[in-house]
Structure 1
Amino acid sequence: MTLPTTDEIILEAQHVAKWFPTQDQRLNLFSDLNLRVHTGQTLAIVGRSGAGKSTLLSLLAGLDQPSEGQIYLAGHQLATLDDRTRADLRARQISFIFQSFHLLPELTALDNVRLALEIRGDRHADEQARHWLSEVGLGNRMQHYPAQLSGGEQQRVAIARAFATQPALLFADEPTGNLDEETGHQIIEQLFDLNTRENTTLILITHDPELAARCQRCVTLHAGQLHEATA
C-alpha cells in the first residue's frame, strides 16, 4: 500500500523509556523507544499480551508521561504542557475507539455521540451526531441505550463518536476484541472506509495479523523496542 506523500509529522516519540518501581527493583517496560508517524498514515502496533501496547498508547496520547524521553503531538512537546492544556490538545486532535466500547450506559446512542461534540463546544452537536450515526448505519437506533444494542452496534456508536469530532489522529485499541469474527470484519471494513474518506491518521493496536496487514505500516513491540516490518 502506498504511503501518503505528506512530510508533516503528527506524532513522534524520541528515546522514550517507561519504568515502574517494584518492592526491590525497577520494572523496565520500554527503553530508548523511537517512533515517527506522518499525517494520514495507518499504523498497526502488534505484540504479545503484556508487552505494553496499551501503556504505549497512553503515552502517545498524552494520558500518561514517559519516565524518560519526549513525545510530540501535532508539534507540541507533551511534557511541557500542563494537564489542562494537554487535555485540550487531546480534545482537539485525538479520538479513541476501545475494545470495550466505553459508552455511557445511561445515555442513548445519540446522546453518547452528541456529548463528545458538546464538550468541544460544537453548536451543531445534535445535527452532527445524527449524521454520523446514520453514516455507520444506526439511523434507526439513535434512541436506544447501549444495553439495547448488540456488541457490533455499540462499536458502531463508538466509531460514530470518534469520527464526529473530526480528529487528526485516531487510536483504536483492539477494536474487534469483543466481537465475533463476522461482526469484527464488518466493523473493520467500516473503520477503514471512514478513515480513508476522512484522511485521519490511524494508530491501531491489535493481536490480529490480518487486521494489522490492512495498515500501511506495522511495528511489533517486543522487549521494550519497536521493530518495523519491511515489505
Structure 2
Amino acid sequence: MTPEPSAVLIANALAKTFADQSGGLDIFTDISLRAEAGESIAIIGPSGAGKSTLLSILAGLDEPSKGSVELLGQPLAGLDEHSRAEMRANHISFVFQSFQLLPELTALDNVQLALEIQGHPNPEQQAADWLDRVGLQARHQHTPARLSGGEQQRVAIARAFATQPSLLFADEPTGNLDEQTGTEIIEQLFQLNQQLNTTLILITHDTSLAQRCQRRLYLHNGRLQEQ
C-alpha cells in the first residue's frame, strides 16, 4: 500500500476580522485548507477578496482572528515571532508581484543573501548557478535598477528556489509584467517547481494561470470553495 503524502500545510477554520467603525469587518470566515508535499494550488478570486491576507496568515506573517495553521507539523500559534521567522527562513520562499529585491545589492548578492541566512555552504557559487539557471548569466553584477521587470522577477525566482524550500508562496507573480514576459516567467516558475517538488500556493486573479495548478480554490464573499 502506498503511504499517504505528508501535509506541508494545514489550515483549520480560519477567520480574519478587521476592526472598523461598525465594530468589525469580516474578511473571511471558516476557511480550511490542506496542501500536500509537491502539490500546486491556486487561490483565485476578485480584487479585495482577501487572497493576500490569507497568504499572510498561511505563511505566519499575520495571525488569524480564529482558527489555526500548521506548517510541516508545527502549529504556528505555539511559536513566537522569532521562531516563526526562523521557520520561514528555513522552509518557505516567496515570489511577489513587486519583486522585493534589495535595491542596493546586485542580482548575485540578492540570491546569495538568502543562502547565507540559511547557512548554505559556498553561497556565492550556488547563487551564481541559480542565476545562470534562470537565464541571467550576464546579469550577476547588475543592481535591480539596471534590470528589466522580467529580469528582476527571474532574480526573485532564483532566490526563491535556491534555498530549496518545502513551500513556495507566489502572490500575483506576473502582475507587473507584460503578457509575453509573464508567460515566460510562469513557464520557468512551474518548471522549477516540478523539478524541486516544492509545494506551491499561487495567489492570482488570472483564471488561465490558475489552470496550471493541480487544484483551484475560489475565494469569494469570505468563503473558499474548490473548483
Q: Could you tell me the TM-score, scaled by structure 1's length? A: 0.96
Measured on the aligned residues, the alpha-carbon RMSD in Å equals: 0.9
Q: Deviations along 1:103-147, whole A, 9 cap, x unmatched?
A: 011000000000111111223110110010000000111001101
Code of the residue aligned with 1:173 in structure 2: it is D
Identify unmatched segments of 5+ residues in structure 2.
none
Matches within 5 A, 1:5-84: 6-84=4-82
Aligned residues: 225
Distance 1:192 1:29 in 2: 30
Alignment partner, residue 122 of structure 1 = 120
Distance 1:116 1:102 in 2: 12
Q: SS where residue 127 of structure 1 aligns?
A: helix
Q: SS where residue 102 of structure 2 aligns?
A: coil
Q: Does 1:86 align with 2:84?
A: yes
Find 1:148's aligned residue among 122, 146, 149: 146
After TM superposition, which residue ranges in structure 1, 4 or more long, deviate above 3 angstroms?
none
Distance 1:140-1:47 versus aligned 2 partners, 3 A rule: same
Distance 1:29-1:200 versus aligned 2 partners, 3 A rule: same
Q: Deviations along 1:178-217, whole A, 9 cap, x unmatched?
A: 0000000000000000000010000001111111000000
Alignment partner, residue 172 of structure 2 = 174
Identify unmatched segments of 5+ residues in structure 1.
none
Cα distance, 1:24 vs. partner? Answer: 3.0
Cα distance, 1:6 vs. partner? Answer: 4.7
Q: Could you tell me the TM-score, scaled by structure 2's length? A: 0.97
Distance 2:65 2:77 in 1: 11
